[in-house]
Amino acid sequence: MKRLIVKLSALLLLIAGTNTAFSQTDTINVVTTAVPFLRISPDARAGGMGDLGMATSADANSGFYNLAKTPFATNNVSFGLTYTPWLKDLGLNDVYLLALGGYYKLDELQAVSGGIRYFSLGNIQFTDQNGTDFGEGRPREFGIDFGYSRKLSDRIGLGIALRYINSNLAGGQTINGTNYKAGNAVAGDLSFFYTGLRENGSGWNFGAAITNLGSKIGYTNDATQKDYIPTNLGFGTMYTAVVDENNKISFGVDAHKLLVPTPPKFTGDISTDSAAIADYRNKGVVGSWFS
């Protein structure tokens, strides 16, 4: 029962997307988005460094953070596979994040990259508030990435990526008269990288990226109920000091800002709240980045 409750809670948080309710006394307005798995660090290296990825050295998973780093990689080709159990301490053995990333350098100036992220919520028994059984399901989400990056000089690189997103949380279910389906979206990334490393490997790196620039995602046929995906603006820097020929130490920091609208705070007045919700929902994709 405990495992079921935890899974259902996680599912409700995901499917709710931006449908967040606030009481009149709330002072904190939490910004939420659909497909939050796109903001989870999928590899062990970044996860072990506090989710740093904007300005770290290039590796197989660079496409998940800053694609522009890839042409500066020392290897011509690299692939990485990461499996991350999710909420395992709560006794959940079928919830996980699986990620596969890699790149191939076409020459010294350019590279192509690809990546897949798959997030599974395991088996879930669907019921309504009265306990009516609606059968079992396997909520899951995935994203597929393809990217191209190029050096503009020995110090500067740019990258661009295209992403397909599929989110199937309750596809085929009918809840309170609403038919749910898998959501689909298309997004892209734009990234920048500057390296100031000297020949001995010491110096500064800087990186910036706008990720998940794309369409809204919907789980029903109601076009007014689509949710925002986690468009994000990120900056980062890292300094590397060489201790000796076998050792070095790095210090880095990343800063991120979600480019999605903040949900309205409810006042208790039906007409005012309805207008605020409509304004929030009706923001266009481009307009939402600046709201």
Helix, strand and coil percent figures for the chain, each rounded to 5: 20, 40, 40
Q: Which residues pair with 53 in a beta bridge?
A: none
* Cα distance between residue 53 and residue 5, in whole Å: 34
Name the one residue in this structure whose structure tokens are 């076409």: 106
Q: What pLDDT is stored for residue 8 in this prediction?
A: 44
- The closest of 72, 69, 50, 54 to 208, measured between CA atoms, is 54
- Positions of the chain with pLDDT lower than 70, given as ranges: 1-28, 267-269, 271-291
Q: pLDDT tens across 191-233, in order?
A: 999 999 998 889 999 999 999 999 999 998 887 788 899 999 9
Q: What is the pTM of this model?
A: 0.84
pLDDT on residue 136: 79
Annotated domain spans of the chain: 2-14+34-260
Do residues 230 and 258 lie in contact, with contact meaning Cβ atoms separated by under 8 Å? Answer: yes
Q: Give the Cβ contact number of residue 106 at 10 Å.
A: 13
The conformation of residue 247, written as its DSSP 8-state character, comes to E
| Phi, psi values for residue 45, rounded to 5° | -60, -55
Per residue in 3-44, pLDDT (tens digit) is 444 444 455 445 444 444 444 444 567 778 999 999 999 999
**What percentage of the chain reaches a pLDDT higher than 90?**
58
